[in-house]
Structure 1
C-alpha cells in the first residue's frame, strides 16, 4: 500500500511540474519585432504558432508570404507600409510564381487539402503592387483587420478557396479591380462553395472598379460596410453551376454614389452607377441597407439591381426587405429577371422601380 502511495505522489509531482520527472513546458508565444531596414519575411519564417511578428513604423520594400498557422503579422497602423521591392525578383527554379514574382504584397497560403489556419494580418498598409495588395489562398479562420490596401493593380484584398474568414475595418482604395475580392476560385467555373460563415464588416471600399466582389460563394455575411466612388458598390456573381451563389445576408451597408465609369470586360458590359448587383444568385437577404445616388446608363445601373449572369442564369428566391433606396438612376429597384415572382421586394423606401410596382 505504501508503494502505491509513493507511485501516486510521483505521478502528481510530474503533473504539477515538480520533481525529477518534470515534463517540458509548451513554448510561450513570442513577439518578434521588425525595425526599418530589417526583413519582415525573415521574422515570419522564424515565427511559430502563437507568435506575433510586430512591424514597426517605416517603409518595407518586399513581399511577405505566411505559411505557418497561428501566426499574427501586425504593424502599428498606416505608418507601417509595405511596397514592392526595388529589384525585380528572379524566377523560381521550380517554375512556380511566388508572392513577389506574382506582383503581390502579402500572401497567406496553405495547401488545398491542408489550409493554413488562424492567421491574423492587421494594422498596416500595403500599396503599389502590380497585382494584389493582400492575397490569400487555402486558409481557414484568416482575420484581416485595419489593413489599408491602396493603389494596387488588381485587387486590394482578396481570398480564394478558403473558409471562415473575417475581413473587418479595412480600407481598400484606388485598386484596379475590386477593393475586396472573395471567390471560390478564379481559375475555373465551378459551383459555389460554402464559406462556412465568412464575415465582411465595417470596411471602407472607395474608388475601385468594384467595392466588393463576391464570386460563387455561399453562407457569408456582409454588414455595415461603406462603399462609395466605385463603378459598382457590391457585385454578387453566380452562374448556372450547382450549388448557386447566394445564401448570404447583406445588411446595414451604405452604398453611395458609385458613379465611376469602367469599360466592359469579356464577362460584363460597361459598369457605372451600380449600387448592389445580384447576378445569378439565390436565397440572398438584402435588408436595412442605404443605397443612394448611384446613377448611370449601363445595364447594371441602379440602386439594387437583379441582373442575369453573363451566361444567362437568373436570380431566384432573393429577399429585398426594408432598405432605404433613393436618388438612383435609372431606378432604385431593377429586376431584369424573366421569371416573375421568384424574388420578393417588401417594405423598401424607394420611388422608382423597373418594372413598376416593386417600391
Structure 2
C-alpha cells in the first residue's frame, strides 16, 4: 500500500488517473481458440480463471480434464465433436470419460462452464463432474456413451440446461451423492435440470440419494424409464426435491434387469425410498409394461426396504398408462398425498 501511495505522489495531477490504473493492473480474460488437429487439453491447461477455450468445428479425439476454476469450455454446437482416442494415457480417458470436471475431496472446483459441443462414443460418461460447485452444462449433446451421458457426484449448485442426452447405456443425466459408496443423501444447494431432451437411454434422469434440486420442463421420451428418484435406508433420506412441468411420454423401451433393478419398461416417473418430493404439473402419457416399476407415476418401496414418505403427487396430467396412471405400491408408507391429478385409473383405486 505504501509503494502505491508513493507512486501517486510522483504523478503530475493530470496523470493521476492513468497512474492509478498502472498501479492496479487488471488481468484480462482471454479466449484460447482450438483449431482441428490441435489439442483441447493443452488450451485448457493454459487457461486461467475467467478464460474461454473456444473449440472450432471439427472432430477431436481424446478426453479433456478441467481442474482450473471459472473457465469456459465452449464449442460451436454439434459441429464440435469430441470422441475417444484409440489408447488414452490420461486418467479421465482411462476411465472411459469424455470431459472430466474435477475438484478434490478438500476443495470443490468452482464456476466451470461446458457448452455448445457434442461428446460421443465414450465407454463410460460423456461429461462427468466430481467435486464441483456452480458447474453449468449447456447445449451439450451427449450420445452413445457406454454408461451416462452427463453425470456428477459430490457436487452442488449445478445447472444442466438445454442439453440433449440420447442412446446412452444407463441414464441420460445421472446425479448422485456418491457413485460407489452407500451413505445418506446430500444437499445439492439448488441444482437445476431444465429444458433438457432425454431420449433412448435406459433411464432419462436418475436422481440418487440427493436433496434440494429441481427437475423441470424437460422432454423425456423413448427411454425404458423416464425419471427415477432413488433413496435408500441411510439418513438423511433422499428427497426434498421437485419434479415439475416435465413432458414424460412413451418411455417403453425394454431394458433387462441389473444387479440393482428388475427389467424396466413403461415407467414414467418412479419414486423409491424417498421423502418430501413434490411431483407436480407433469404430463405423463403412453407408458405400458409389466415390470414392477411400470406405470405413469409409481411409488415403489425400495429393494432395501426404504419406504416413500410424505411425498406430494399433485396437479399432474396422466393418460394411457398401464397398468395404471398412478401406482402406489406402498402399504406401510406414511403421509403420501395424491391431489388434483387428471387421470383415469390408479392402483389402488381412488388416487385420481
TM-score, normalising length: structure 2: 0.95
Deviation of 1:11 (Å): 9.7
Report the CA distance shift for 1:169/1:255 in structure 2 as closer, same or farther (over 3 A).
Answer: same
User: For 1:216 and 1:21, how far apart are their aligned partners in 2?
Assistant: 50
CA RMSD of the aligned region, Å? Answer: 1.9
Of 147, 153, 172 in structure 1, the residue corresponding to residue 140 of structure 2 is: 147
Q: Describe the superposition over 1:298-343 as per-residue Cα deviations: whole angstroms up to 9, x where unpaired.
A: 0000000000112010100000010001100000000111226520
Question: How much does 1:50 deviate?
Answer: 0.2
Structure 1 gap ranges (5+):
1-5, 93-97
Report the CA distance between 1:146 and its aligned residue.
0.2
Q: Secondary structure at the match of 2:93?
A: coil
5+ long unaligned stretches in structure 2: none
> 2:175 touches 2:208 (CA, 8 Å); kept in 1?
yes
Give the 3-state SS of the residue equivalent to 1:99 in structure 2.
Answer: helix
What's the offset of the Cα at 1:19? 3.6
Partner in structure 2 of residue 325 of structure 1: 318
CA displacement at 1:22 relative to structure 2:
3.6
Matches of 2:184 and 2:98 in 1, distance apart? Answer: 29
Give the secondary-structure state (helix, strand or coil) at the position aligned to 1:305: strand
Aligned with residue 243 of structure 2, among 234, 240, 250:
250
What are the residue-to-residue correspondences of 1:302-317 with 2, within 5 Å? 302-317=295-310
Query: Residue 92 of structure 2 aligns to a residue in which SS?
Result: coil
Residues in 2 aligned to 1:250 and 1:16: alpha-carbon distance in whole angstroms:
57
Match of residue 213 from structure 2: 220
Which of 137, 156, 167 is equivalent to 1:174?
167
Cα separation, 1, equivalents of 2:136 and 2:272: 27
1:340 and 1:232 map into 2 onto residues whose CA distance is 23
Q: 2:176 aligns with which of 180, 183, 187?
A: 183
Residue aligning to 1:346: 339
Question: For the structure 1 residues 345 and 34, does the alpha-carbon distance in structure 2 shift closer, same or farther, using more than 3 Å as the test?
Answer: same
Shift of the 11–169 alpha-carbon distance from structure 1 to 2, 3 Å rule, reads farther
Deviation string, structure 1 residues 248-284 (Cα, Å, up to 9, x no partner)? 0111100000001111111111111000000001000
Q: How many residues align?
A: 346
Distance between the aligned counterparts of 1:336 and 1:268, measured in 2? 16
Q: Distance in 1 between matches of 2:258 and 2:21?
A: 68
Distance in 1 (CA, whole Å) between partners of 2:260 and 2:21 is 67
4+ residue runs of structure 1 moved beyond 4 angstroms?
6-9
3-state DSSP class of the match of 1:10? Answer: helix
